[in-house]
Amino acid sequence: MKKLKSGFNRRSSAEQVTAGVDLSGKTALITGVNSGLGLESMRVLASRGAHIIAAARSLDKAQQACAEIKTVVKDAVLTPVACELSDPRSILSCVETIQNTFTTLDILMANAGIMSPTNLTVATGYTKPLEMQFATNHIGHFLLINHLLPLLKNAHQGRIVLLSSMGHLQTPKQGIDFTNLDCAQGYNPWQTYGQSKLANILCAKELSQQLLASRVTVNAVHPGVIRTNLNRNSTGALFQLINFFANFVERSIAQGAATQCYVATHPALDKISGAYFVDNNIAEPSKHAKNPILAKQLWRESLNLVDGYL
């Protein structure tokens, strides 16, 4: 992988990394726009001229986010849509709305996610029950991306950005435990979160190989330690420890949104695909994240899980 030096770092903001980038005429779908990194990414990309398809769990939440952005980016062009990523029927409805309105998609930013809820919850809409983090963070985006690939291929240079996390370093010993995707055999909130974030990187790796002959790139990013609504359901000793150290290393939401905005828009990255970015630069992920066999296994299992919806 070519090691580019972006000139940006962990203190760079989303506005700084997109300075001078003109997104006029481009369309970007961002999931999880109602707060945090998604809301900031929408604001910044809209201010650069992009038409934002703003996806949230409900249409009401998406509309509220769009109204908020309109107060600061007066000429923003925004289309709110509902997309509950744990529900394949909601995803298909979102896809239908987008396909009926747009013929081209330049950017798909898979930003939405949940992190380490204390209590186990299970999504039941797929061919097998799935623990909610895996269903939301990986499978929901997997289904959304695969349906919208034709629109991305219609773009001059389509980009997919998957929001992963350094949390992908903490997983079951095999990386992804395909025998316990519903966590019926045991639930560890942080390992399960890490497993879902590892899946984001592996998905980017495998899909990048499948898209080599196209003009679409796909990369994964770690945003850094930021206090957002993502951790609203997290508790326990490990969470308290992370919160303590966050006081020394955390960054603002504007800084946290920088890497995903940089990877989604910067002209220098038009040929970079299958990479993992941290602090606006390419970084090395875990050994599991670099395992092509595990990536292909995840892809096959994901296809099985969404059987009937693709």
C-alpha distances in angstroms, 181 versus 134, 178, 191?
A: 7, 6, 12
Of these residues, 126, 187, 262, 276, which one is catalytic? 187
Length of the chain: 310
Residues 79 and 205: their CA atoms lie apart, in Å, by 30
Q: Specify the amino acid at residue 256.
A: G
227-256 burial string, b = 16+ CB within 10 Å, else e?
A: ebebbebbeeeebeebeeeeeeeebebbbb
Q: Specify the amino acid at residue 268.
A: A
Burial of 5 (0-12, 13-18, 19+ CB in 10 A): exposed
- Which residues, in sequence order, are bridge partners of residue 52? 28, 78
Q: Are strands 217-222 and 122-123 parallel, antiparallel or unpaired?
A: unpaired
Tokens of 25: 């005429």
Residue 187: active-site member: yes
20: alpha, beta or left? (left if phi > 0; alpha if psi -120 to 50): left
- Which residues, in sequence order, are bridge partners of residue 298? none
Residues 6+ away with beta carbon under 8 Å from 240 = none
Residues marked as catalytic: 187
